[in-house]
Structure 1
Amino acid sequence: MIHLSAFADEISSDLDEQIAVLQSERIRYIDLRSVWGVNVLDLSDQQVITVKQKLEDQNIKVAAVGSPIGKVPLDSSFEEHLQRFERALVVAKMLGTSYIRLFSFYPPQNGEVDSASYREQVIQHLREMTAHARAANLVLLHENEKGIYGDTIDHCVDLLQSINDKYFRAAFDPANFLQCNQTPYPDAYTALQPWLEYVHVKDVRSDGTLVVAGEGGAHWLELLQQLRQDGYDGFFALEPHLAAAGQYQGFSGPDLFRSASQALQKLLQQIGWKYD
C-alpha cells in the first residue's frame, strides 16, 4: 500500500503545529527537513530524540530525512560536506528511517558551465557517499532539482546508470522537471521508472505559479494511474511550496498545506487507490 508523507516544515516551524495539521489530514509520515527553524542535520542528538518521541506519541513515523546534502557548489570542500553527510546517516538511524534525500551538486563557483567537464567529479562524490550509505544500510534518494547536475532527464539517468547501486535511487519530482523545461510525464517518468523509489508531490503552471497537484502541467492524474499500473508501493511526500519557494525549503502554511493534501487525496480517491 502507498503511504502519504509531508515536508511538514511547509506547515509551520513549530513541531506541535506540524503534528496537529498532519493528524487533521490523516497523514502518518513525515519527511523531516527542519524543526523550530533548525535544519534536521543541525539538530542536537537530544533534539532528534525529542522530535522522534513527540512523533511516536502521535503515531507518526519519519519516512525520510530531507537533507540538503549535495546542495553546495562542486568545488566547495568535499571533506567538510562528507562530514555533514555522515551526520545525515546518524540522524536517519536515530529517526528510524531508511531514506535520505540528497542532491547532485551545483556547478563549480569558478564559472565552469560545461557540465561534461565536471560530470566525473559529481559521480565520484556520489559514489563515495553511496558507499557510506551502503555500509549503513541506508538508501540515498536523488531529487531532480533545478540548477544541480541532475536537473534534466538525461543527467538523472546518467547518474543512476553510472552509480548503478540499489542504495542510490530516484526521488521523482514532476514539478522540478517542469521548471527545467522537461516533460515529467510520460518522458521523465518512463526514463526514471527503473530506479524510482520515492515521489514528491507539487505542481506548477506554465507561468511558474506553484499549485496543488492536478492544477498544473505535471499530469498528476495520468501519472498516478501509471504508477499504480506499474505497481508503485512507496511514499508520496507533499512538498507544495504554495506560499514561498526558497533555495533550501518552501512554505505553504497550514491552510494552503491542507489544500495541497486534500487535492492529492482527492486524486487518489478518484482512481480508487487506497493509501495510508
Structure 2
Amino acid sequence: MTQPTSDRPTWELSGFGDEIDADPVVQVAVLQALGAHAIEVRSAWGVNVVDLDDEQLAGLHRLFDERGQTVSAIASPIGKVPVDEPVEHELVRLRRAIAAAHALGTTNIRIFSFYFAGRAAESVRDDVLVRMRALADLAEREGITLLHENEKDIYGDVPSRVLDLVESVGSSSLRLAWDNANYVQCGVRPFTDGWAQLAPYVDYLQVKDALAADSSVVPAGQGDGELLRTLTALLDAGYSGYASLEPHLTDVTALGGFSGPAAFGRAGRAFRTLTDQIGVTLR
C-alpha cells in the first residue's frame, strides 16, 4: 500500500543557485519550478559570496524574502587554498562569509580543509588542524555551523582523514556536508567505505553522483556513488535536513561547477526519482 504523502518523511530541497545562472532571479525561478524552497548561495551576479558587499547582500535578502526562498547554506570557498596560506587569510574570508550568513538568515557555511599541493597529506596534518581549529573557534563565537565538504586533494578528501579532522578539532561548530560524487572521484565507495564512521557527524547532503571509471559527474543515481544506499541510511536515521543539488553537469572549475537551467532540472528530477523510491517528500 502506498504511503500517503502527508505521512512521509520530509527533507528540504535546496540547490547551488549559480549552477543555474548568474542572475539570482533566474536561480530562484528554476529552483521553485523544481519544488525547492531553499537555495545555497555560492555566488550572485558573477560575484563570489565572500566578495558581495552589504548592498548586494541586502538586495539578495529582499529578493529571497519576496519570493519566499530561504537560504540553506553559504557555499563559501574557505579552505579551498593551499595549506601554506597564513591562518589569517582564511579567517578574514570567513568573517565575510559569516556576514553573508547573518544577512541572509542561515547558520550554515560550507568550508574545505586545504590543499596539500603535492606533499604527503600526513605531513600537513598539524597545519590543517591549527587552521580548522581557528575557523571553528570563530564559528563558535558567531553561532555558525561549518559544514566541511569532502573534496579531492584537500586534507579531508577520504573518509579516514575526514574522521580525523572532525574528531581532532572536536567542535560542535564543525560538522560534515556529505558529497557522494567527490568520494567516487577519490577512489572511494562512499557508503561502503565511509558512511558508518562518518554518519554521526553528517548534517547536510550535497547531491551529485559520479562514475568511477572516468570521474565524470552524472545525475543522482546514475553513477557509482551508492547514493540510494546513502539516502536510505539517512531516512532510517531520521534525517530531516537539507538536500542540496550541485549537479556539475556541463562545466567544472576550481571553485565549483555549472549546469544551466535544463541540466539542473534534469538533475533535480533524477534526485526526486530516488527520494520517491524510498518514500521521502522533498519540499
- On whether the aligned pair clears a TM of 0.5, the verdict is yes
Amino acid at match of 1:99: N
Residue in 2 aligned with 1:85? 94
Q: Contact 2:177 / 2:204 at 8 angstroms: preserved in 1?
A: yes
Amino acid at match of 1:45: D
Q: Deviations over 1:154-179 (max 9, x none)?
A: 10000011011111001110100000
Residue in 2 aligned with 1:151? 157
Distance in 2 of aligned mates of 1:174 and 1:188: 10
Q: Deviations over 1:83-103 (max 9, x none)?
A: 111111111111110100000
Residue in 2 aligned with 1:215? 222
Distance in 2 of aligned mates of 1:103 and 1:125: 11
Residue in 1 aligned with 2:59? 50
Amino acid at match of 2:131: H
Q: Contact 2:42 / 2:76 at 8 angstroms: preserved in 1?
A: yes
Amino acid at match of 1:214: G
Residue in 1 aligned with 2:200? 194
Amino acid at match of 1:198: Y
Amino acid at match of 1:58: R
Kindly, what percent of the aligned residue pairs are identical? 41
Query: 1:256-267, aligned counterparts within 5 Å?
Result: 256-267=263-274
Distance in 1 of aligned mates of 2:32 and 2:168: 41
Unaligned runs of 5+ in 1: none
What is the CA distance between 1:209 and its match in structure 2? 2.0
Alignment match of 1:20 (pick from 12, 24, 29) = 29
CA RMSD of aligned residues (A): 1.1
What is the CA distance between 1:233 and its match in structure 2? 1.4
Amino acid at match of 1:245: V
SS at match of 1:104: coil
Query: 1:47-196, aligned counterparts within 5 Å?
Result: 47-107=56-116, 113-196=119-202
Q: Deviations over 1:71-126 (max 9, x none)?
A: 11111232222111111111111111010000000115xx5x12222101101111
Amino acid at match of 2:193: D
SS at match of 1:2: strand
What is the CA distance between 1:202 and its match in structure 2? 0.3
SS at match of 1:160: helix
TM norm structure 1: 0.96
SS at match of 1:192: helix
Amino acid at match of 2:103: M
Q: Deviations over 1:169-226 (max 9, x none)?
A: 0111010000000110132111210101111100011222211000000122222111
What is the CA distance between 1:15 and its match in structure 2? 1.1
State whether structure 2 residue 15 is matched by structure 1 residue 6.
yes
Distance in 2 of aligned mates of 1:120 and 1:12: 39
Residue in 2 aligned with 1:235? 242
SS at match of 1:72: coil
Aligned pairs, number: 273
Amino acid at match of 2:250: A
